[in-house]
Chain A
Amino acid sequence: GAVVSQHPSRVICKSGTSVKIECRSLDFQATTMFWYRQFPKQSLMLMATSNEGSKATYEQGVEKDKFLINHASLTLSTLTVTSAHPEDSSFYICSASLGLAGPRDTQYFGPGTRLTVL
């Protein structure tokens, strides 16, 4: 149980295009989902927290107009990188929490999406 999927697993795009990444909780309802970014050989940095049906809460320094997050249902959150540039190239990881307590509950992580912007 508690499986989280991400799609696509890998994407290469041209500079200036937008890329959408999907995060799905396959066998549970996730009230809260989280988006992280990980640069090579670095730790995970939280980008935003999204709750179903409400606007995402972005961490300081993360541009909300650049990284659009939609949490339309209890099993799906999407991250859209708008007008992507080479510096947006990174490994993007989502996680989902089982309970209403948010991150105080265990987070289950997706397999990640590797974005390369040419």
Chain B
Amino acid sequence: GIQVEQSPPDLILQEGANSTLRCNFSDSVNNLQWFHQNPWGQLINLFYIPSGTKQNGRLSATTVATERYSLLYISSSQTTDSGVYFCAGQNTGGFKTIFGAGTRLFVKA
């Protein structure tokens, strides 16, 4: 079955709007991370967040490990935020990183 599930699959925002991206993960996945893949394909680490809340500028993330979900908040979105946001986790007991299908974000000017 699906171990890392993201929603929504696609999102279009007007510049300045806020959004929340969700990641559900199964019991066999831990050590959540969020990545941003820009339109040129480069992946950037956003957060390593196995639990709790972290903030970095306009972005913040919260993981509730006991309920197997993580949220990525984007505030005051900018056109440069466009791209694909992936959450990924590690297989419990293994050494494999499993990526979700991603949320494709487009921010309109």
Residue numbers of A with Cβ under 8 A of B are: 32, 34, 38, 41-46, 49, 59, 91, 93, 95, 102-104, 106-109, 111-112, 114
Contacts and interface: CB of A to CB of B under 8 A. Distances in A.
Nearest to A36: B99
B6 to A, nearest CB: 9
B17 to A, nearest CB: 23
A93 B99 CA distance: 13
Contact of A103 (B40, B86, B95): B95
A109 B43 CA distance: 6
B97 A43 contact: no
A74 B63 CA distance: 33
B90 A43 contact: no
B45 A108 contact: yes
A103 B101 contact: no
15 contacts: A34-B97, A43-B100, A44-B99, A46-B96, A49-B96, A59-B96, A93-B41, A95-B43, A103-B90, A103-B97, A104-B31, A106-B45, A107-B97, A111-B42, A114-B41
Contacts, number: 50
Chief secondary structure at chain B's binding surface: strand
Interface residues on B, range: 20 to 34
Given A102-B95, A104-B95, A109-B44, 20 more contacts: A34-B97, A41-B104, A42-B101, A43-B99, A44-B86, A44-B99, A49-B95, A59-B96, A93-B41, A93-B43, A103-B90, A103-B96, A103-B97, A104-B90, A106-B33, A106-B48, A109-B35, A109-B42, A112-B41, A112-B42
Interface centre among A43, A46, A93, A111 (most CB of B within 10 A): A43
A32 B102 CA distance: 25
